[in-house]
Structure formats: structure tokens, C-alpha cells
Amino acid sequence: MKLSLLNFFLYLLIFFVFSAHVYHYAPHATDDAFIFYRYVNHIVDGNGIVWNKGELPVEGFSSPLWIFLLTIGKLFGVPLPIFSLIIGVLSILGTVLIMIIILNYKSILGLISVAVLLCFGSVYYWSLSGMETGLFMLCFLASFVSIHIPSFRYWVLLLGLTRPEGFLLMIPWSILWARVHPQKRGFIFWAWLPTIVYFLFRLLYFDAWLPNTYYAKVGASLLERLGDGFMYATPVLLCLLTIGLTFRSSIGTLLLSLFMGCTAQVCIVILGGGDWMTWGRMLVPMFPFIIIMTSIQIARGYRFLIVITYFLFPFSTPFAAWPAMIQGKTLPITGFQEGGLYNISKEIALDIRKNIPKGATIAINHAGFLPYLLSDYNFIDMTGLNDRFIAHHAKGGLHQKYDVEYVLQRKPELVVFNSFIKPAGKKLSLQYWMGETALYEHPSFLKQYQMVPIYYERERFGGGNAYILLFSRYSNTD
């Protein structure tokens, strides 16, 4: 079928916007992604799904499906950062394809809606960062679209394995599926089977009901979590409320499924207390839902829904980034979530290898880059994401858990601190993360550890510098 000249132009625009964004954001890598890579390295090396060789297994990652896919890539010899980037790009393309199918590949409004999604820098920022965000966005959308287009139903088999909250999203999906496809209710069993099998595996292998990341992050009071979660999810809540104003007694299968799925996910995000990372990492998978629903209702005459653009504007590509993308420039280090932490971690890893024997224990806050680069060393994740004891026994909410006594009892050979203040003199002022400050200020810490006479400087997200300090254990404190 022939396309109009305007359609052709829009497809060219979509291709350009997509390509420019991918090239611009491809170098971005986040610390949490390298936690996945460390686990994959241990799996491929035959050590099992463990954080440290020889220790009990711990599920310190947020996506078993992501671990599985990365392991396949590693077995085929593809570098993990490259393989995760490929999956991220394919995930965005898959999401775009579903949107084009739903909104009609010849529809001007539909193609504009796709172009709008592709102008959200946050989509690329997180989908290409080495995290599972893009894959979850694809599985989440395809699963709820399957209520309207049953041929997409097999995506739901992956939903419960893509993110910890995936199995919760399968509950509204199951209700919708049973209601809309009563003659195919038997498929609900098959949809849940992979999730149930992995749940039993988790219980037997990790000896835990939920991922260790859940126990590490969710510890604050319900009231505190709700307050933080509402603040975090406000843009999507405003979008859902505005779209809801257009609903009548009958809204159709597609709108109902998308609205229920998006509402369920935003409730989960709120109950979890949101997230500390920039640019709405936990909100990104809901953007296609919002845009599809908005497009459908605008086509029905509800043009005031254009205001949704303003609610989501903070997640769009900054105006200042467009000239850089047009010129073929990539995201600067100051735009990375952890700034120049990865580059300086390479230098630190080389110095540690020269001075600290393999197998030594190192206590750390940022548990991605350095542990990945030093896979033959053991690490104490002081935030508890990869440490069962801290996750289960320390008090506090998101990134507020730490246990100074526990870390000191483990007697790490090296402790890695961070500071926003340049070291000067013997007394330091860290002002970075409360767990590091509490450890440094513990009465016995400086009796057991001495500062290595060198510090490392890196660029921070948004500009400015941060400093990394190493403290080695005195040999006579055993």
C-alpha cells in the first residue's frame, strides 16, 4: 500500500531521531549495570550465581531474564556492555513496532506519537545504560497489548522474570485476560509457569522469598515510602488522571488494558518509594502506555490531552542536546549517572592489583564498576544490595541501610570511601553517603585503618568533582 509524502517524511524523521539519540546516549553506562556483569562473569566461570566466589548465593540483581540474556551473550564471546547495548536498542525498536501496529502505520497522528516517544532522552538514557529498563518496557507493553491482540500473548511469559514487580503486574493481566478471552483462560497457567518455576528456584537456591535488592531497598515506613513515591510518580499520575477524564462507560479493550497496566505499575512504584536515580528510570516503561492512550483519545476529539506533553516534558531530550546530536557528538561524562566513575575505577583497579593480593576483601559503596573490574576479589557491598546480612538486618529505606559493626567484623583489607570535598590534612569530611561517614567516624576505624597516601579525582554528574579515598588495614590489627 502506498504511503503519502507526509508519511514518508515522518518515517525519515523517526529514523533520524532514533539514530541520533542512540549514537548520543550509547556511551552511557551506569554502575548498577556492572553488578549484572559481575554475576554473569561468575556464572560463566562456573562459580554459580554468586556475588563473591566461595560464598553463599545472593540475588543482588533486579532481573533474572537480563542475567540469562547477558550470560548467553558472554558465552558467545560478545563483550557484556556491547551485548546489553544491542538488547537495549532492539527493545526500543520492538516498542516502536508495537506502537506503529497499534496506532496504524499510515496514521499521521500515530507516527507523530511514535516520534514523540523517541524524543524522550530518558528512554535511551536508561535502555542503553546496561540495565533491563528497555527490555522491561517492551515486555510490559507487549503483555498488556496482548489483551487486545492475542498474538502478543507469549510476551507475558517473560514479564514476571524481567523485573521484581513483574509478577504483581501479571495479576491485573490475568484478570483482564480471563474477562476478555474466557475461552482461552487455560493460557493463564502457562503465562504464570516461568514465574512460578523461578520463584521455586529462588527459594531453593537463594533461600529467600524475594530478591535481595527488595530487602535492601524497602525498609522505610509505609508513610515515608508513600510520600516519596507520590512525589516521584507525580508526572505519570497527572497523565493518568487527565486521560481518565476522557473515559466514558465503554472505553474499549485496548484502552482498558493499557490504563489498568499503567495504573498497576504506578501504584507499585509509589509503594516502593520511587527511586533516587535521575530521569525517571522507574517511570520510563510507562511512557509508551501514556502516549498510546493519549494518541487514541486525541484522535477521538479530546485535544486537550496535549497538556500531557507538559507533564512529561522533564523527561524529554534537553534543547541543549539537540545541536550536539545533530553534530554527531556523544553524551558528555558529566551527563552520566555516576559521572567519570567508570574511567577512574579502571585506574583504581590497576593500583589495587599491584598492591593487594587476589582474593582479598574490599568494602565498597558503589558496587558495580570496581567489583566488575576485580572479579577475583571479594567485596562487601555496604549498601546491602549484594549482602544478605545488611539487607535483612540493617534498618532504613532506600540506600539508607548500613551496618558499621558488621563491616568491621568482616575485617576487609581495603575500604573505599567517596567524598565531595577535596582531601586536605589528616581529618577528612566525606559528606557523600551516610554509611561511609558512619564507618569513618566509628571510634575504632582509624585505629584499624590508615589512608593510602593517594586519592583519585573524578567528574560528577552535572559537573564538579568527587574524590575516592582508599583505606588499608593495619597488618597488626588481627
- Residue 476 pLDDT > 60, yes or no? no
308-359 pLDDT per residue, tens: 999 999 999 999 999 999 999 999 999 999 999 999 999 999 999 999 999 9
216-262 pLDDT per residue, tens: 887 778 888 899 999 999 999 999 999 999 998 778 999 999 999 99
Lowest mean pLDDT among 21-25, 104-108, 119-123, 465-469: 104-108
pLDDT of 431: 83
pLDDT of 341: 96
pLDDT of 477: 54
Contacts of 374 (CB under 8 A, 6+ apart): 349, 352, 353, 362
Contacts of 436 (CB under 8 A, 6+ apart): 365, 382, 417, 418, 430
Mean of the per-residue pLDDT values for the chain?
A: 93
User: With pLDDT > 70 as the criterion, what percentage of the chain qualifies?
Assistant: 98
Longest dimension (CA), the chain: 80
pLDDT of 221: 80
Query: Quick one: average pLDDT of 90-95?
Result: 98
Bridge partners, residue 471, by sequence: 415, 451
∠ CA 425-429-432, nearest 5°, is 140
Query: By the 8 A CB rule, do 142 and 155 touch?
Result: yes
Whole-angstrom distance, CA of residue 102 vs CA of residue 69: 27
Confidence band, pLDDT 50/70/90 cuts, at residue 183:
very high
Residue 314 class from Cβ within 10 Å (0-12 exposed, 13-18 middle, 19+ buried)?
exposed
298-307 pLDDT per residue, tens: 999 999 999 9
- Residue 435 pLDDT > 90, yes or no? yes
- Residue 1 pLDDT > 60, yes or no? no
∠ CA 361-367-369, nearest 5°, is 100
Bridge partners, residue 363, by sequence: 380, 415
pLDDT of 299: 92
User: With pLDDT > 90 as the criterion, what percentage of the chain qualifies?
Assistant: 86
pLDDT of 19: 96
378-433 pLDDT per residue, tens: 999 999 999 999 999 998 877 789 999 999 999 999 999 999 998 886 678 788 99
* Predicted TM-score (pTM) of this structure: 0.94
CA dihedral 278, 282, 288, 289 (to 10 degrees): -140
Whole-angstrom distance, CA of residue 128 vs CA of residue 84: 7
Give the containing element (helix H, strand E) for 85.
Answer: helix 80-103
Grid look-up 509508551 returns 288
Question: Could you tell me which of 391, 419, 417 has the C-alpha nearest to residue 403?
Answer: 391
Encode burial over 266-304: b for 16+ CB neighbours within 10 A, e otherwise: bbbbbebbbbebebbbbbbbbbbbbbbbbbbbbbeebee
Query: Quick one: average pLDDT of 90-105?
Result: 95
Query: Quick one: average pLDDT of 194-204?
Result: 97
Query: Quick one: average pLDDT of 457-463?
Result: 93
| Strands (DSSP E) found in 27-150 | none
pLDDT of 127: 97
120-176 pLDDT per residue, tens: 999 999 999 999 999 999 999 999 999 999 999 999 999 999 999 999 999 999 999
CA dihedral 120, 121, 123, 127 (to 10 degrees): 160
